[in-house]
Structure 1
Amino acid sequence: MLALWLSTSVAALAQAEEPPEGGPQPDDPTAVPIDGGASLLLAAGLGLGVRKLRAGRRS
């Protein structure tokens, strides 16, 4: 088991940090896409807050 693990760990090494000269340049690594997932979480939180407010007024 150990020999199998050691032989496959070499193939899992990451790529070099910088691409070779003339190669494609990576996008900005700090750019985070804000898409539908964040919108859905915001809408769910807003809905939960409205529900709690309405339930609190009825009591």
Structure 2
Amino acid sequence: MTIQNKRIFASILFVLISFACASQGPPPPAPPPPVGLPIDGGVLIGAGFAIFYGARKLLKRR
């Protein structure tokens, strides 16, 4: 198989694969998230702990 034949073959495969991918419909919509998952309180507590821990490490290192 010559280089020219390989390029033609690769081009044909690329076009066929792109048609196959484009012919599929869009994915179904995702289900809604569960109700009642509060994350804001935990995030604030975690951020406060991280700041406290980082400050403590910096002060102990000096």
Q: Shared fold (TM-score greater than 0.5)?
A: no
More helix by share: 2
Q: Which structure has the bigger radius of gyration?
A: 2
TM-score range, shorter chain: 0.3 to 0.5
**TM-score of the aligned structures, taking structure 1 as reference length:** 0.40
Higher relative contact order (CA 8 A, sep 6+): 1
**TM-score of the aligned structures, taking structure 2 as reference length:** 0.39
